[in-house]
Copies of this chain bind each other. A is one copy, B any other.
Amino acid sequence: MKKKPLILVTNDDGITAPGLRTLIRIMKKIGEVVVVAPDKPQSAMGHAITVNSTLYCTPYNTGETHKEFSCSGTPADCVKLAVREILPRTPDICVSGINHGSNSSINVIYSGTMSAAVEAGIEGIPAIGFSLCDYSWDANFEPVESLVETITREALANGIPKGVVLNVNFPDLPDSGIKGIKVCRQAKANWVEEFDKRTNPMGKDYYWLTGKFVNLDKGEDTDEWALEHGYASVVPVQFDLTAHHSIQDLNTWNLND
């Protein structure tokens, strides 16, 4: 019999998040699970890492057979610590999530969930970030469980292309409401921020960041289109950020006169 795959599970909502608990349960059907997750919510942390302060990493006892560790750092820190200090060998796959809230389109760049997956990808480990388009703590993950399992098993069977990690988002739909899975490109959509300016009890102004998501990209090959039309979206994400198509253009500039 083939050896069970070693699966690193992490997230950005913190080790107590129901989305993480769901992901652990699914992954235990597929392989040997080790969890290294932040000890507190780390949403919107982007690809932050901890370089100027210390990191704590403590066993987290759930009474179950698999091992869990709670880490004081960011999602990217969790992956680095797991790979270098905690896991007995390089994991066969790293899964992050299931995030409470969307990481589609431009949100991938702010996402702690995806930063963990990207960090694993940089380390050469196949990686997937999963997100459900429901921000509530008591979101219902049940309708997406079999899809998470299918995508993970396919990734293990086929291998994820080198230099690529998967960004998977699920629409917030009831059982049997999800029509299928679509491979997509990231929609060219973004947030239009509005700052809610207030005055604190000491008379000093402060702001809350708010905003609305605006999608002007009408393409039917985008993650936003898929999600709006009842499909789960799978976007291959790369971490070589070079805009190769612009190099020729920039070489026409007078930079070396």
Q: CB within 8 Å of B: which residues of A?
A: 41, 43-52, 54-57, 76-77, 80-81, 83-85, 106, 108-110, 115, 118, 122-123, 150-151, 154, 158, 161, 163-164, 166, 180-181, 183-186, 188, 190, 193-195, 197-198, 204-209, 234-247, 249-257
Contact = CB atoms under 8 A, between A and B. Distances in A.
A133 to B, nearest CB: 17
Given A52-B41, A186-B240, A84 B206 contact: no
Contact of A151 (B80, B197, B255): B255
Contacts of A183: 247, 250-251, 253, 255
B45 A46 contact: yes
Contact of A49 (B50, B185, B209): B209
A182 to B, nearest CB: 8
Given A54-B207, A164-B246, 17 more contacts: A46-B76, A47-B110, A55-B195, A55-B206, A55-B209, A56-B205, A56-B206, A57-B207, A81-B207, A154-B253, A154-B254, A161-B243, A161-B246, A180-B256, A185-B240, A186-B242, A235-B241
